[in-house]
């Protein structure tokens, strides 16, 4: 990342730390560099810049819906930060190639598999695209959970600081056990991955992944 991107990142981090009380006690568990896919639940509008800027100056990028570039400010910032735009609802091969290239260069790649914000803070069903990316990139995955960000805009209106929490799990890789990777298997693996995020969250945020008794790890292998 260029010095201008880092400068904007540090300024953004300072502003967010003024507006939020950020629990970053788990961030030491995130490696200093990639290749790594860091994936998380998507609770609101603030967790992306918090996670991104708190991990600087580590080499990090992420995937965001292309509509985010419609506004001039985020267009400018996301280009500075080398964020990768993706067209949702289709097989965006350009975004895939750019993501794989970032992994090859040793970046941490941030992804929110739910694909859209769950405005109540409760998890919704995740999309399986992350599995395709992880298999093509032979990437290690690291689950992260966050909560509190869903209250940010309301707290901001009341000039109240937001309590924002992050928890980091253990790294793993996907092993398909030589099975044919079809849509059903991709979704099963995705759900196994999302249960790892749910296990890091307080119960009220787990949503469709609330019943941890249904969690399996048939296709996930821990790495050291």
Question: What is the domain count for the chain?
Answer: 1
Compute the distance between CA of residue 177 and CA of residue 175 in angstroms, rounded to an integer: 6
Q: What's the CATH code of the domain at 34? A: 3.40.1130.10
pTM score > 0.85 for this model?
Answer: yes
Average pLDDT, the chain: 93
Q: What is the per-residue pLDDT across 4-52, written as a single tens digit (0 to 9) for each?
A: 999 999 999 999 999 999 999 999 999 988 799 999 999 877 999 999 9
Helix (H) and strand (E) counts in the chain: 7, 9
Q: How confident is the model at residue 118 (pLDDT cuts 50, 70, 90)?
A: confident
Q: How confident is the model at residue 173 (pLDDT cuts 50, 70, 90)?
A: very high
């Amino acid at each position: 990342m260029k010095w201008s991107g880092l400068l904007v990142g540090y300024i953004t981090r300072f502003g967010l730390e003024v507006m939020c009380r950020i629990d970053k006690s788990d961030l030491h568990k995130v490696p200093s560099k990639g290749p790594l896919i860091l994936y998380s639940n998507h609770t609101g509008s603030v967790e992306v810049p918090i996670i991104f800027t708190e991990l600087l100056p580590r080499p990090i990028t992420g995937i965001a819906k292309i509509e985010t570039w419609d506004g001039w400010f985020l267009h400018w910032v996301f280009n500075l930060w080398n964020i990768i735009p993706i067209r949702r609802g289709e097989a965006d091969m350009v975004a895939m190639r750019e993501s794989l290239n970032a992994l090859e260069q040793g970046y941490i790649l941030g992804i929110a598999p739910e694909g859209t914000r769950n405005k109540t803070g409760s998890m919704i069903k995740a999309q399986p695209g992350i599995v395709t990316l992880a298999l093509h990139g032979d990437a290690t995955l690291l689950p992260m959970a966050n909560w509190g960000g869903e209250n940010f805009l309301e707290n901001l209106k009341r000039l109240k600081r937001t309590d924002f929490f992050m928890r980091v799990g253990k790294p793993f890789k996907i092993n398909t056990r030589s099975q044919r990777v079809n849509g059903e298997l991709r979704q099963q693996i995705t759900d196994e991955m999302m249960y790892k995020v749910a296990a890091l969250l307080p119960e009220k945020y787990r949503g469709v992944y609330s019943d941890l008794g249904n969690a399996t790890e048939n296709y996930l292998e821990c790495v050291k």
